[in-house]
Chain A
Amino acid sequence: MSTPPVMLHPELLAADDTHAIVRDDRRLDHAEAASKPLRSRPEPQPRGAKIHGSRPVDQAEAAARFIAAPEHEKMHDERLWDLRQKRDREMHGIPEWEELRSLASAIKEHTLTHLDEYLEQFEANARSHGVHVHWAHDAAEHNRIVHGILSDHGAKSLIKSKSMLTEECGFRPYMASVGIEVIETDLGERIQQLDNEDPSHVVVPAVHKLRTDVAEVFARTIGTDPANSDVHYLAEAQREATRPLILAADAGMTGCNFAVAETGTFVVCTNEGNADLSANVPKLHIASIGIEKIIPRLEHLAVFIRLLSRSALGSPVTQYTSHFRGPRAGGEMHVVLVDNGRSERLGMEEFWTSLKCIRCGACMNTCPVYRRSGGLSYGATYSGPIGLIIDPTFNQRKYSNLPFASTLNGSCTNVCPVKINIHEQIYAWRRVLVERHETPLAKRAAMKAAGELLSRPAAYRAAIAAADVALAHLPRFVIYNGLNAWGRHREVPHPPKQTFHSWYQANRGGKP
């Protein structure tokens, strides 16, 4: 039987409609029957910078690939801008905000200029509570010390909270090489660990990932449904997978946000409480502490606690602010104080104040270049504005391009809770890198030529006239060829009939 080719409401159709689709004894109406749940393939995650040993990282290349993934770029930009806006709201709730920043900066500068005294004070006080204190000159020594402690206890598995210092030390790869299993307990950091990728942000390490990316990683590593990217489902699945590992771990590790010299205690701030699990579930607790984390007195802590989470996430305070004083009964606590280039940086006249950094990430959240590039485009432990000024201290050649990945807009300096003059240090690094010949030859040649032209008025006038003629008469495809970086993604200015110079000559004339 044929049915008329008209769309009718199901109730108006004959009961014996052969085109009807029946499911569960119920005839589906038109819309239900026609629309199948279509799931388009999620946009693949753009990966970070390509690393070739110590060759200069090409941040611009990786950033271009990030921008070529519009869903990722848009989400990343909006998510971080949202943090910046929340930070602004919190700031406006604190009338003495600018005073707090000045105070925090002054405390840090004082401490850094008396660092030896405060470190020794911290060490003595910590030892008096039964804490084992170790000193590590560099990353390798840090890793060896921690390995030694774990070996002494026969520990084969280690749970840890997020720590940029351990990232800096290449701690996870080292532990893998000596056969110790490391389990990250921070959700974002765990995602990055399972994906074998570095954190892209100091506070929100997986912020560059869409939830579909996380679903892909978890499906591959902990066996979740690849088609299910529900955030609660993914978080719960991860919790179920990791919690048994946490309970069975032989040792725990944390980083440190602030180490207080007068008390010999240290403070770890988290929102997930995972540092407390890492520190308190196993009997052995090891804390890695960068030597710049010292503050003199407990009363100074209040200044930083008020600034840290407001600057980082726009929340008044982290969910957990945990103070650690010494081992609990039957346990052991070790502190590793790590230099890894910090003493050398302290001696750099233009760059030493970068050691004031409390790793809040506010400079990243506000940075318009970072938001559009993704943190992995920097190919370094530290990305964004703070990365631009500290990465070259680790490897000048490898990170020689980074200080150029900035418009020098200065927003980073204004949001910095400890008032590091970040954009001025970026500018200063450019000078240093040029002086040390760490810039591409083509750029050197172009800048030298520009300097010569712009200091010779007659030659300059001739060049301007030629440029005018060129823009006015060259066909479009010549101006927009692949070599012209201005015109590849934007139009060139429309050449005027005459320059200001010739207008002035014609209209104001007279003698110069």
Chain B
Amino acid sequence: MRIGLFIPCYIDAFFPEVGIATLELLERFGHEVVYPRDQTCCGQPMANSGFNAECADTEALFVRNFSGFDYVVAPSGSCVHHVRDNFDAIEQTDEVKEVRARTCEIVEFLHDILKVDAFPWARFPHRVGLHNSCGTLRRLKHATPSELHEPFYSKPMDLLSKVEGIEFVTPARPDECCGFGGTFSVFEEVVSTKMGYDKVSDHARAGAEYIVSADTSCLMHQQGCAERIGVPIKFIHIAQILNGASA
């Protein structure tokens, strides 16, 4: 299988270890993973703020970079949600539709496409709180949201349960948004950070040593909030744990 690796801008700039873990993890399963060098972004920051026309060129660039792969995989739920559900600033040619349909988030790719049943190299003897970002939870449908009367399932929990030594803790409000919200984080920064403080405090009260998520943007925001108010908690992307990160 030939996979195009999409590393969103802020992961490239601030969290290269998340990109490296995603790359290595996909390679462990014997797939050819290609990182197109001219990639930048999916257009979400502009689209999320209503500036759809302003993301047309960025979307076109994304399609040029990622056309022709069996799958495009990214360690970021919100970016994948944009590509799959809102990527309509450019004409919807067959090529565009194909790229959009083949774009996957790493958890759903491992769970639904590769159907991975073991991570023998992974061991993570820590108490972790799972943060399902709103994009992965309610758009990509990683898990049952607490608002719906539907049978319980959780793809990230399924995968993490296969990691030796891991222990889960449950915060009081497991589905509550952490307040990142893309450009909301700067345009409504007081509400955004208050939500972040509450989120990390909730996980800390539940006894989490780590908050693990499939969305690095939420983690970046939560880390900034935790450091500011002095909540001693660590942050890690799910791909890092599944790739065998020890701490």
Question: Are A and B part of the same complex?
Answer: yes
Task: Tell me the A residues contacting B by CB distance below 8 Å.
Answer: 59-60, 63-64, 67, 73, 77, 81, 88, 91-92, 94-95, 97-98, 366, 368-369, 372-373, 403-411, 413-415, 427, 429-434, 439, 443-444, 447-448, 450-452, 454-455, 457, 460, 464, 467-468, 485-496, 498-501, 503-504, 508, 512
Of the candidates B7, B55, B184, the one whose C-beta lies within 8 Å of that of A451 is: B55
Residues of chain B within 8 A of A92, CB atoms compared = 149
Residue of B nearest to A60 (CB): B188
CA distance A302 to B36 in the complex (A): 57
- Which residues of B sit under 8 angstroms from A504, Cβ to Cβ? 19, 23, 35
Which of B36, B39, B180, B189 has most A Cβ within 10 Å?
Answer: B189
Across the interface, do B9 and A454 meet the contact criterion of CB distance under 8 Å?
A: yes
Closest to B37 in A: A512
Asked if B177 lies at the interface with its beta carbon under 8 angstroms from chain A, I say yes
Interface string of B32-43 (1 = CB under 8 A from A): 000111111101
A59, A439, A457: the one contacting B38 at CB < 8 Å is: A457
Q: Which of B145, B173, B186, B220 has a CB less than 8 Å from the CB of A485? A: B186
List the A side residues contacting B55 at CB < 8 Å: 451, 454
Task: Please report the number of residue pairs spanning A and B whose Cβ atoms sit closer than 8 angstroms.
Answer: 214
Closest chain A residue to B36, Cβ basis: A512
Say which residue of B138, B179, B190 sits within 8 Å of A64 (CB atoms): B190
Q: Is B11 positioned at the interface, with any CB of A under 8 Å from its CB? A: yes
Chain A min CB distance to B232 (Å): 14
10 closest A-B pairs by beta carbon, nearest first, are A407-B181, A430-B50, A455-B57, A490-B224, A451-B54, A414-B147, A500-B19, A409-B134, A489-B193, A409-B177
CB closest residue in chain B, given A61: B190
What is the total number of residues of chain B having a CB less than 8 Å from a CB of chain A? 74
Interface of A is mostly: helix
For A488, the chain B residues whose CB sits under 8 A away are: 189, 193
Please state if B223 and A406 are interface contacts (CB–CB under 8 Å): no
A353–B26 CA distance with the chains assembled, in angstroms: 43
At the interface, yes or no: B196 with Cβ under 8 Å from chain A? yes
* Residue from B51, B60, B61, B149 in contact with A98 in the complex, judged by beta carbons closer than 8 Å: B149
A460 touches B45 (CB 8 A): no
Residue of B nearest to A502 (CB): B16
Chain B contacts of A404 at CB under 8 A? Answer: 49-50, 184, 187-188
Report if B164 contacts A (CB, 8 A).
Answer: no
Partner of A460, one of B40, B223, B224, B228: B40
CA distance A485 to B183 in the complex (A): 10
Expressed in whole angstroms, the Cα–Cα distance for A366 and B148 within the complex equals 13
Interface residues of B, dominant DSSP: helix
Is B86 an interface residue when CB atoms closer than 8 A count as contact? yes
Query: B227 an interface residue at 8 Å Cβ cutoff?
Result: yes
Tell me if B11 and A500 are in contact (CB < 8 A): yes
How many angstroms between the C-alpha atoms of A467 and B16 in the bound complex?
A: 15
Beyond A489-B193, A498-B16, is A411–B225 a contact (Cβ under 8 Å)?
no
Q: Which residue of B lies closest to A93 (CB)?
A: B149
Which residues of chain B are near A407, meaning CB under 8 Å? 134, 177, 179-182, 184, 192, 195
Chain B, range 186-205, C-beta contacts under 8 Å to A: 186-196, 198
Contact between A493 and B223, CB atoms less than 8 A apart? yes
8 extra A-B contacts, CB within 8 A, seeds A97-B149, A404-B187: A63-B188, A63-B191, A404-B49, A404-B184, A410-B139, A451-B43, A489-B225, A493-B224
Which residue on chain B has the smallest CB distance to residue A98?
Answer: B149
Q: Are B185 and A486 in contact (CB under 8 A)?
A: yes
Interface contact A496-B40, CB-CB below 8 Å: no
Contact with A along B13-39 (1 / 0, CB 8 A): 111110110010000000000011111
Q: Which of B176, B185, B194 has the most CB of A within 10 A?
A: B194
Looking across the interface, which residue of chain B has its beta carbon closest to that of A432?
A: B50
